[in-house]
Amino acid sequence: MKALNLCAAGLLAGLAASANTGMPSDAIAADAQTIVEALKTVAGNPEGVRATFAKGQCVHGTYTPEPNAGRVTASKSFTQSWPVIGRFSVSGGNPKVADSSRTALRGLSIKILSGNDESHVLFENAPVHFAKTLDQMLGFLQARAPAADGKPDPARIAAFARDNPETARQAAFIKDELLPASYAGIVYWGVHVFTGINENGNKVPFKFKVQPRAGELTISDAEAANKPASFLVSELADRIKEGPATFDIIAILAEPNDRHDDVTVRWTNEDTHSMVTIGNVSITGLEPNDTCDQTIFDPGRLAVGINPPADEIFSARTTAYAISLGLRSK
C-alpha cells in the first residue's frame, strides 16, 4: 500500500504541474495506476470510494437464458440459469453526486454467479467510451485536473476537446438524452466488442445491449429538480416491491467491416444490425452495499465461451479496478 501512496503523491504533483504550466500530457506514463489516480484527482480525492461510479446500490437477482443464447455463446454463464449480484451506479468519483446530474453516466454491473467460472459484465447508458487509448484517457483527465484555484480550467478542457474530437462523443450522446427516472428504465450498453464461441464452435463478435422491459423511463429537468439527491435508489426499492426489474441481455452482432478496436465510435447503422436476445436479468431485491464494496466487478472474468475484447481500454480495466479496491480499502 505504501507504494500506491507514493505513486499517488507523484501523480498528484504531476497533474498539478500539468494543469498550471501547460506541461504536455505525455509527461506522465499512461497506465492503469495513473488512470486511477487521475480519476481520484479530478474527483477531489474522496476517501474510501471507487475512483469512478462511486455512488451506487448493490442488488441481487437471477439470470435466465433465452433459447437462442447458443447462437452467440456456449458459455455456461449465459446458457444456464444462475443467481446474480449487480450494482446500479452514477459515474464520477463523488459519492454524493445528485441522481439528477445531467453530465453523469448511469451504470449497471452484474456478476453471473455460475460456480467457479463466473462472468462479470459492465454496462453504461452510452454506447461509446470517452477515450480510445490510455494516453488519450489520461490526457482527458489531466485537462480536468484542478488548477491553482481548485477548479478545472475551461480553456484547457476546450483545447483538449478540439484536438481530440472523439472524446466529446459520449458527452454529446448523454446531453441529448432525457434524464432517467428509474434505474429500471435505462438502456445500457457494453461498449466493447466481445467474441462469443457459439454452440457450433464458431466465433461471433458482438456488443452487449441491455434493454429494460419496463421501457425507457425518463423525467424532465424541472421534475428532477424537485427530487431527492438519491431518488433512483428509493424509486428502485419501491418498484421491486411490486415485482422484479427485468432487463433483456442482447447481443448486437458485428458485420464484416465493423471495427473492434475503437470504443469511441459506434458501428455504421449499429441500431439496425442483427441482434440476438441471449437472456434476461431480473433484479429482485436490494443487497447490502458491503457485498459489492468488499470486492470488484472484474470485467476480465468471463466464463469459457466468451473471449474478452482486444481494445486497449478494456485491457487496463481489471488492473485499474483492483488498484481502486486497494486504495479504498486502505
Alpha-carbon separation of residue 118 from 72, 78, 87, 293 (angstroms): 17, 10, 16, 18
Mean pLDDT, range 54-69, rounded to an integer: 98
Determine the longest span between alpha carbons in the chain, in angstroms.
60
Output the pLDDT for position 53: 96
Output the pLDDT for position 9: 35
310 pLDDT higher than 50? yes
* Domain 2-329, classified CATH 3.90.1300.10, yes or no: no
pLDDT digits (tens, 9 = 90+) for 250-302: 999 999 999 999 999 999 999 999 999 999 999 999 999 999 999 999 999 99
Instruction: In whole angstroms, give the CA distance from residue 120 to residue 249.
Output: 13
Q: Is 113 helix (H, G, I), strand (E, B) or coil?
A: coil
137 pLDDT higher than 50? yes
Q: Provide the pLDDT confidence category of residue 25 given band limits of 50, 70 and 90.
A: very low
Going from N- to C-terminal start, the domains of the chain cover 2-329
Four-residue CA torsion sign, 86, 88, 89, 95: negative
Phi, psi of 155, deg, nearest 5: -65, -40
100 pLDDT higher than 90? yes
